[in-house]
Amino acid sequence: MYRQSGIISGLFCAAFIAGASYLVVPTVAGAGSCGSYPAAKVDWSGCIKKNLMMSGNDFQGANLSEADFSLTDLRNNNFTGANLHKARLIRAWFTGSTADGADFSRAEGYRAGLQNISAKNANFESTELQRANFGGSNLTGANFEKAELGRTTYDKADLTDVDFTLANLSRADLSKATFTKPPRFDRAFMFLTHIEGLDLSGAADLSQAQVDLACGDKGTKLPSGLQAPAMWPCGDD
Tens digits of residue pLDDT in 201-212 = 999 899 999 999
- The pLDDT of residue 235 is 65
**pLDDT on residue 204:** 83
> What pLDDT shows up at residue 31?
61
Residue burial 164-201, b: 16+ Cβ < 10 Å; e: rest:
bbbbbbbbbbbbebebeebbbbbbbbbebbbbbebebe
Q: What is the model's pLDDT at position 236?
A: 54
pLDDT of residue 76: 98
Per-residue model confidence (pLDDT) at position 11: 38
Q: What is the pLDDT of residue 163?
A: 98
Predicted pLDDT of residue 2: 36
Which residues of the chain, if any, have pLDDT below 50? 1-30
Q: How many helices (H) and strands (E) does the chain have?
A: 2, 0
Cα separation, 203 vs 92, in Å, equals: 32
